[in-house]
Chains A and B, each alone.
Chain A
């Protein structure tokens, strides 16, 4: 069993829909990261969370430390949001990665 589990694995949405990607982890962490990997392969760090909620444009990330759960929300989704979204946790000693959620937003 992976230390980090993401759901769903694949997600197809219509443009404009509200999207949620979930991440659950089983280890103690000091921070959680949400990463975005574009179809060309490059990886961008979207958020780094240790508590609460962060917002950047149409993206919102939340974390519940007690429940060991984080969500990434995309409001008013757009085809350019199509990418793989990866959850990663930092235990202070090492990183564990989820297997990613492949999002396709259809015009």
Chain B
């Protein structure tokens, strides 16, 4: 079984639409993350959730909202999509927020906004 799975893997949508990317981890981890990788391959952390509480909220537009129905899931909702939102979004998890935990990544979701 995949440790961290995210869906969809590919998503093409028009500007202005609202879309969601789902993420699930079956590792029993307490902390989950969303990262954005831009066209230059630069990874940037967007959010992290620990026990369903938002811990880090980097300076991302409020059109992006993480939703965690339970510890094993952290979904990413994006409203009013813009061309600049086109990127690869990675979900990840770690045991907890203690520094130095191994991070497990999902396979990524390729979002293209047209």
Query: Do A and B originate from a single complex?
Result: yes
Chain B 65-95, CB within 8 Å of chain A: the 1/0 string?
Answer: 0000000000000000000000010101000
Q: How far is the CA of A99 from the CA of B41 in the complex (A)?
A: 7
Q: How many A-B residue pairs have CB under 8 A?
A: 51
| Least CB distance, B98 to chain A, in whole angstroms | 9
A30 touches B108 (CB 8 A): no
With both beta carbons as reference points, the residue of chain A lying nearest to B97 in the complex is identified as A92
Chain B residues with Cβ below 8 Å from A69 are none
Look across to chain B and name the residue whose beta carbon is closest to the beta carbon of A100: B41
Tell yes or no: B101 within 8 A of A by CB.
Answer: yes
Residues of A contacting B: mostly = strand
B45 at the interface (CB under 8 A from A): yes
A42 proximity list for chain B (CB < 8 A): 105, 107-108
A27 proximal to B (CB < 8 A): no
Most chain-A CB neighbours within 10 Å: which of B41, B43, B45, B110? B43
